[in-house]
Structure 1
Amino acid sequence: MRPGLTIGEFAALTHLSVRTLRRYHEAGLLEPAAVDRFTGYRYYSADQIPPAQVIHRLRELDVPLAEVKSILATDDPKRRTELIAGHLQRLEEQLDRTRSAVVSLRQLLRPDPADLKVELRSVPARTVAAVSDGVTLPDVLPWYAAAMAELDAVFPPAEHTGPPGGRYANELFTEGAGAVTVFRPVRSPHRAGRIEVLELPAIDLAVAVHHGPHDDIDVTYGRLGAWVVEHALAVDGPIYETYLVGPRDTDVPDAWRTEIGWPVFRVTPD
């Protein structure tokens, strides 16, 4: 009587190739139930089919072999779930980055500069409620979400006198870290927690509107920057964003509207 399933039979049942099964054996990831000491033939038991299928699914998700081994080695279901969840989170983040890159590339492959409408605007000085901090570029989105949530908690909609905005130091883009401010124009700005009362200076901006989700907002940034340089208007200073319609207004990303304001030489008001 045979000691179990041959490696070929086991490969057919688990959809793991013979070559892969041999590699997993050598790595100590999935050892055969028995190995014939004379022929070297590997034999597997039916009980090994479920763990082999788990390995197959994990490898389809690009879980590294070392992590697969850790997942299979632990007897703690909670720990096993944490290991798998951690990898899934990394995959989701990678998918988001890939999706953003695809959207941007599609926009860049069919540019239409004539579609970009730029307005030269003199923005008066404003007193706003704001949260400011030094932030690294990868942390901007979570930091922004937390700061806006804090502003919204202190200043309800009845207090709002305009859409929220952000001010981003050039170093954030050139060095990967810099000063960031998010703010709300409100009736009675006051301090609370991280919130401060901030005097935004009068400034002249070249303004363009980015339509839709922020996956390809860098394309609009680039087109606006090129327009400013072409018209010899650029000056040093932070970039301003105004969130006319955003995730706090609608859960339909295609409806989002973000104004990007690039500092320019003073223009004559209309």
Structure 2
Amino acid sequence: MSPEQLSSYANAIINILVDYSPKLISAFIVLFVGLYAIRLINRSIRKIMVKRNLDPTLTKFLADILLWALRILLFVTFISNLGIPTTSFVTILGAMGLAIGLSLQGSLSNFAGGMLIIVFKPFKVGDTIEAQGVVATVLEIQIFVTKMLTGNNQTVFVPNGALSNGTIINYSMQGERRADLTFSVSYDSDIKKAKEVLLDVLHKNPKVLENPAPEVFVKNLSASSVDFAVRPWAKNANYGSVFSETLENCKAALDEAGIAVQPYTIQK
């Protein structure tokens, strides 16, 4: 290559740089200013949501979505200032979004379910719930799954899509819970005495609440026994011990009173 050709190429490159430098400088100014502005906006949005006592999971999720949406918008603006056509780029993004959406239909269902759980709050972290055949304490509400811990220390991950569309029993929401038990005694027994014995057991247990008052009443007259419904109320933290103590103490009290206990069923 001759010196004249080198000089010609160098002059052409210099002219291109001179012509293109304003766009390049303005594009990078937009980029740096935009990144700083996005950081401030994201920080402000997080503070506003925290002040309004929004769920921490929802706060983080919405802030992250806003962050990436602003970053994508800034990137499109940046390449537009460089003089690069953005129409084809936006089309490619749309096609990619459609393809990802079709391939992740199940995940999107779980995502939507997670949003419903976070917004409407049928339960919160620390609640004991029954759903999808599982009774467990909620450890963490994630975007796609809910992490729970069962009574025998097993960690269960339930998809939010199925969880939000199914029946959820929240045992912790009201703070108090009633144990429903059934004691069956012989027809030869004194019914009034049996009722007094069962009520006395409930009133002597300090974990049984006086308000709402515990109940004992004849529930059913079966073929071979008189069935009593025994219903003590307890705080959620004491429910398990009240349930088991009521079984043990009522059986012992009936035996001591000479009242024959027939085979019975327990309704949880």
Asked if these proteins are the same fold (TM beyond 0.5), I'd say no
Higher helix fraction: Structure 1 or Structure 2? 2
- TM-score, scaled relative to structure 1: 0.28
- TM-score, scaled relative to structure 2: 0.28
